[in-house]
Amino acid sequence: MLDAATTQVIGPVPTRPPGRRRARGPWMLISGLLTLLLAGTALFAVAPLRRPLPAPTVTRTVPASTVIPGTAPVVPWPKIGQAALSVEGVGSLGTSGGSKPVPIASVTKVMTAYVILTEHPIGRGEHGPKLTVSSAQAAAYPKEQARGESLVPVVAGAVFTERQALQALLLPSANNMARILAAWDAGSIEAFVAKMNDTAAALGMTHTHYTDPSGYDPGTVSTAVDQVILARKAMKLPAFAEIVAQKTATLPVAGTVRNYNSLVGHDGVVGIKTGSTDEAGGCLVFAAVVKVDGRKITVVGAVLGQPGANTPVQLARVFRVTRPLVRTAAGAIGVHPVVRAGDEVALVRGPLGAVTTLDAARDVTVVGWPGMRVRLDVDVPEVPARLPAEAEHGRITAAAGGIVSAGVPLRSAVELEPPSTWDRIRQHR
DSSP codes joined into one string, 227-268? HHHHHHHHTTSHHHHHHHT-SEEEETTTEEEE-S-TTTTSTT
Q: Nearest to residue 278, comparing CAs of 141, 147, 99?
A: 147
Active-site residue 236, yes or no?
no
Catalytic entry in 109, 195, 222, 412? 109
> Binding site for substrate, residues?
273
pLDDT tens per residue, range 61-104:
999 999 999 999 999 999 999 999 999 989 999 999 999 999 99
Which pLDDT value is given to residue 270? 98
Burial of 204 (0-12, 13-18, 19+ CB in 10 A): exposed
Write phi, then psi, for 79 (nearest 5 degrees).
-75, -20
Q: How far apart are CA 251 and CA 272, in angstroms?
A: 19
Catalytic entry in 86, 96, 150, 173? 173
pLDDT tens per residue, range 238-269:
999 999 999 999 999 999 999 999 999 999 99
Query: Span 354-361, mean pLDDT?
Result: 94
Burial of 24 (0-12, 13-18, 19+ CB in 10 A): exposed
Active-site residue 247, yes or no?
no
3-state SS, residue 56: coil
pLDDT tens per residue, range 1-56:
344 444 444 455 455 555 555 555 666 666 666 665 555 554 445 555 556 667 88
pLDDT over threshold 90, residue 110: yes
Residue type, 414: V
Query: Span 220-236, mean pLDDT?
Result: 98
Active-site residue 109, yes or no?
yes
Which pLDDT value is given to residue 350? 85
pLDDT tens per residue, range 321-338:
999 999 999 999 999 999
Which pLDDT value is given to residue 8? 47
Catalytic entry in 106, 150, 222, 412? 106
> Binding site, residues?
273
Residues paired with residue 83 on neighbouring β-strands, in sequence order = 96, 303
3-state SS, residue 419: coil
pLDDT tens per residue, range 169-220:
999 999 999 999 999 999 999 999 999 999 999 999 999 999 999 999 999 9
